[in-house]
Structure 1
């Protein structure tokens, strides 16, 4: 993706901030709410519900498997890219037709999940949880593609930042919001009401309108072309085309560099965050101290980092933004090492969590903007799903040995290792720069 740095001026800064108020970035915010709430509802909120009704920890552990559709969604994303839905397609266009179909099914599945009793109907409960996870991952395919396609290049960073705001808002509503609703009206009503957050994305789609993809995806038969030949061509365009185009556009070596970079760029950061809760507990911080650090410092630092991402990209360019946020993630990991050495100090805890959340908000928005720019509008759903799935693999499967490392190295040694783990991603970024032959701004 090309993103040129510009010199700082008050006028440029005001214009950059003003882009947040444009209709399509605001639509991206609503799409983010619909995208962000289901995973929180499935993991944090659902495991809390199961714990409250006395389900044992071993059974609760199955919830981790619900992240699998999010890492495998690239397998069915080509169908979302190419298949047209009867009736709805003509009314809404290809992208919005899928968004409405999946959104309505997702609301129904969440309703069914909320009305399943995990104590007496655990099998039914688990089945609906899996269905919700699959539909949520599919909704993400559509929303990510639609978001990229409705945002003009000059609004992509701002729309991505607002999308991340929306995602975090959805997390909050599906977490604390659903638990509060459950205390007032019961779990069935809480899940049913939270499921209505899908409507945010549907309203955004009606507001933002159709995309160019919907008008170019049609696969009209060629004169005299037999049905088997047309089917073979459709399958090639659907299943092979998106991946072939990505490798053809970037070259085989360039594509492999990009895929490797996406896979490991945030690995050190993911390893560090997986072990944060055990570190906090082992250092003897109270629940109130941890909550205060997250609510009073961490949340607002996250908001600040996300808000500054788009102006930051405008000022320094994509390549420099990636390298700076990569270095910041390394500094954050060293901050955890300092916390481990200092021990139970609430001030240091607040500073470290504040730095981590600021870096997370800034870095994730920059990274998602980068991934968005790598996707060809002709195959947006498939290519972004592939890239985001790779990033998810790095965050989950590759970071799985974190506990073993922490156990054997101790906290200080572990966080130093996570700092070093971030270096290969920066090396791959440098190689991508070098291959471009035009400097960091062309990354």
Structure 2
């Protein structure tokens, strides 16, 4: 073999730093930035921001807690993910293709739900608002499913990290807009000198959010459908269900044996302190007398920035110390930061103390999230990565979301201080589970090697 013919690996040199960053200006990255915005917008509008609106409208905390179960739609999205992946939509799929048709249908559902929420006053027709919020949640969860597939099929493996980064950037920008933006709009749409609660201001804000979904709709309409991925036909419904749902679980159980139960228990409760406490955070701000502008600036903008900073720190610490150690640190910090909210409840209307508590809580949340995502990713088999990760992330939400539904009733019975302390105590069993899970290895890794 002649040395005069360099191999492909020798002739391909990694791009320079400037050329590397130009990947974020490529059409695929810009599309994911816009679609990430569309994906991140609905989440707070049916969870965090909605609870602020409901409390200002005079809805009792017990009811607000129960209504947080709307968010369970995100915990069950794995159940209809195979349909989104394989089922063509009449007319739409022929016009737009498999991925874009489902994206457009999901976005239409989100827009319709947001318009419905805007036009109904929870003070007079709470049930209608809840129904519309459910439409938004199911539409948003379906959009997430279709968007994951669209992203994976839109570029080769080398570009996936850039697409994921663009998606996350758009998602976080949308969370700021749906958190702080909606409060700012509602505050400025209020009639000066009017009553404390004005439905017209919230109607304006939610209609503006519905209009903001146009970013995602236009992106879908003007994007190209990814190359069609042919799926092998299943011989029967049973074979199809086995490949979609049974095999991924069987693989996980086969790799971890009886210790799979321990791992699933940790996944089910790791974020329980944060999730249960978070449902009552916005009603707490309202009851403590914080204005829409104060909550928007401190918790929705500054808070998101601190969460991103925490995620960055958590990622670095995981590289230096290992995932399980940072997982333990995140569990400790998440529980302790809830105690700070109990302290904040004794301060009255104190913006300085609010800034301090939000900084500590969101930094802790970012560190815990970074470690937990790394842990979940380490558990997946590459052959079933999408399905297994979806199942793990769903398990992560189900128990905390269900318990969080009773949070308002608990606050009404015992008060905010007792509630925040109790949510911190929920994190104590997590520490034991993290310690036990750190000793778990896959069955294959524990098997003795042949001589």
Q: How many pairs were matched up?
A: 411
Distance 1:209 1:372 in 2: 30
Matched with 2:395 is 390
The answer to whether the 8 A contact 1:261-1:428 is kept is no
1:437 is aligned to 2:445: yes
CA distance in 1, matches of 2:294, 2:161: 35
Q: CA offset at residue 181 of structure 1? A: 4.0
Whether the 8 Å CA contact 1:266–1:394 is kept in 2: the answer is no
Stretch moving more, 401-410 or 152-161: 401-410
Alignment partner of 1:166 is 2:170:
yes
Task: Give matches, 1:230-245, under 5 Å.
Answer: 233-245=235-247
Does the residue aligned with 2:88 lie in a helix, a strand or coil?
Answer: coil
Q: Structure 1 residues 16 and 249 mapped into 2: Cα distance closer, same or farther (>3 Å)?
A: farther
Tell me: CA distance 1:308–1:156, structure 2 relative to 1, closer, same or farther (3 Å): farther
Secondary structure in 2 matching 1:38: helix
Q: Deviations over 1:239-287 (max 9, x none)?
A: 33222231343343536555444322323443555576799899x8976
Q: 2:206 aligns with which of 162, 168, 191?
A: 191
Within 1, Cα distance between the matches of 2:21 and 2:166? 12
Whole-angstrom distance in 1 between the partners of 2:440 and 2:301: 39
Which ranges of structure 1 fall in alignment gaps of 5 or more residues? 1-10, 220-229, 439-443
For 1:204 and 1:373, the matched residues in 2 are separated by 33
Q: Which residue does the alignment assign to 1:40?
A: 44
Listed as ranges, the matches of 1:203-242 within 5 Å are 203=218, 205=220, 209-211=224-226, 214-217=228-231, 219=233, 233-242=235-244
Distance 2:181 2:168 in 1: 18
* Greater Cα shift, 173-182 or 408-417: 408-417
For the pair 1:361 / 2:366, whether they are aligned, the reply is yes
Contact 1:160 1:368 in 2 (8 A): no
Q: Which secondary structure state, in structure 2, belongs to the residue aligned with residue 215 of structure 1?
A: coil
Q: Is the 8 A contact 1:262 1:390 kept in 2?
A: yes
Structure-2 change in CA distance of 1:158 and 1:368 (3 Å) = farther
> Counterpart in 2 of 1:101?
105
Partner of 1:422: 430
Distance 2:341 2:394 in 1: 32
- State the 1:135 CA deviation: 1.9
Shift in CA distance, 333/242, structure 1 to aligned 2, threshold 3 Å: same
Cα deviation digits, residues 180-226 of structure 1 (max 9, x gap): 445548555543331233343345556775456x413363xxxxxxx
Secondary structure of 1:139 counterpart: helix
Q: Is the 8 A contact 1:339 1:348 kept in 2?
A: no
Determine the C-alpha separation between the residues in 2 that align with 1:416 and 1:367: 18
Counterparts of residues 361-380 of structure 1 (less than 5 Å):
361-365=366-370, 367-368=372-373, 371=376
C-alpha RMSD of the superposition: 4.8
Q: Which has the larger radius of gyration?
A: 2
Query: TM-score with structure 1 length normalisation?
Result: 0.70
**Alignment map for 1:29-428 (pairs within 5 Å):** 29-50=33-54, 63-118=67-122, 123-150=127-154, 159-160=163-164, 162-182=166-186, 183-184=188-189, 187-203=202-218, 205=220, 209-211=224-226, 214-217=228-231, 219=233, 233-252=235-254, 254=256, 256=261, 258-271=263-276, 273=278, 294=299, 298-306=303-311, 312=316, 316=319, 320-321=322-323, 323-337=325-339, 344=347, 350-365=355-370, 367-368=372-373, 371=376, 382-398=387-403, 403=410, 414=422, 417-427=425-435
Q: Which one has more relative contact order, counting CA pairs under 8 Å at least 6 apart? A: 1
Asked if structure 2 preserves the Cα contact closer than 8 Å seen for 1:85 and 1:98, the reply is yes
Describe the SS at the equivalent of 2:89: coil
Higher helix share goes to which structure? 1
- Does the aligned pair in 2 maintain the 1:260–1:428 contact within 8 Å? no
